[in-house]
A and B are shown apart, each in its own frame.
Chain A
Amino acid sequence: MLAAILVMALGAVLLGAALGYAAARFRVEGDPLVEKIDAILPQTQCGQCGFAGCKPYARAIAKGEAEINQCPPGGDEGIHKLADLLGRDFKSLSAEHGIEKPKSVAIIDEQACIGCTLCIQACPVDAIVGAAKQMHTVIARQCTGCELCLPPCPVNCISMQPIAESAETWKWKYPAYRINPAPREAA
Chain B
Amino acid sequence: MNNSPYLLQPASVQSVMLRVLIALLPGIAAYVWFFGAGILVQIGLASIAALAAEALMLALRGKPLQLFLGDGSALVTAWLIALSFPSIAPWWLTVSATLLAIIVAKHLYGGLGQNPFNPAMVAFALMIVAYPQLMSQWPAAGATDFAMQWQAIFGSRMIDAITMATPLDAVRTALHAAHANTTVAGVLAANPAIGGIGGKGWEWVAAGHLAGGLWLLRQRIITWHMPLAFLAGLCLVAGLFNLIDGARFAAPLFHLFSGGAMLGAFFIVTDPVSGATTPRGKLIFAAGVALLTWIIRSFGAYPDGIAFAVLLMNIAVPLIDMYTQPPVFGHKDGEAR
Contact = CB atoms under 8 A, between A and B. Distances in A.
B67 A179 contact: yes
Interface in A137-187: 179-180, 185, 187
Contact of B63 (A179, A185, A187): A179
B1 A187 contact: yes
Contacts of B1: 185, 187
Contacts of A179: 63-64, 67
A184 to B, nearest CB: 8
Interface string B50-66: 00000000000001100
Interface residues of A, number: 4
Q: Give the interface SS of chain A, mostly helix, strand, loop or mixed.
A: loop
Interface string B65-108: 00100000000000000000000000000000000000000000
B110 to A, nearest CB: 14
A179 B68 CA distance: 10
Contacts of A185: 1
B15 to A, nearest CB: 18
Nearest to B62: A179
A74 to B, nearest CB: 30
Interface size class of B (residues with CB under 8 A): under 10
Contacts, number: 7
A180 B66 CA distance: 11
A180 B68 CA distance: 12
B1 to A, nearest CB: 7
Contacts of B63: 179
A187 to B, nearest CB: 7
Interface string A87-114: 0000000000000000000000000000
Nearest to A172: B3
A26 B167 CA distance: 63
A37 to B, nearest CB: 28
Contacts of A180: 64, 67
Contacts of A187: 1
Nearest to A179: B64
A180 B65 CA distance: 11
B135 to A, nearest CB: 39
B175 to A, nearest CB: 46
Contacts of B64: 179-180
B60 to A, nearest CB: 16
B115 to A, nearest CB: 19
A179 to B, nearest CB: 5
Interface string B142-155: 00000000000000
Nearest to A181: B2
Nearest to B67: A179
A182 to B, nearest CB: 9
A187 B1 CA distance: 9
B71 to A, nearest CB: 12
Contacts of B67: 179-180
Nearest to A176: B2
Nearest to B68: A179
A187 B2 CA distance: 13
A96 to B, nearest CB: 37
A116 B309 CA distance: 79
Interface in B267-296: none
B55 to A, nearest CB: 16
A179 B71 CA distance: 13
A180 B63 CA distance: 10
B196 to A, nearest CB: 52
A185 to B, nearest CB: 7
A185 B64 CA distance: 22
Interface in B1-42: 1
B297 to A, nearest CB: 44
A180 B67 CA distance: 9
A179 B111 CA distance: 15
A177 to B, nearest CB: 12
A9 B40 CA distance: 69
A179 B58 CA distance: 13
A179 B64 CA distance: 7
A176 to B, nearest CB: 10
A38 to B, nearest CB: 28
A187 B63 CA distance: 30
Nearest to A173: B3
B252 to A, nearest CB: 48
What 4 A-B pairs have minimum CB-CB distances, sorted nearest first? Answer: A179-B64, A180-B64, A179-B67, A179-B63
5 contacts: A179-B63, A179-B64, A179-B67, A180-B64, A187-B1
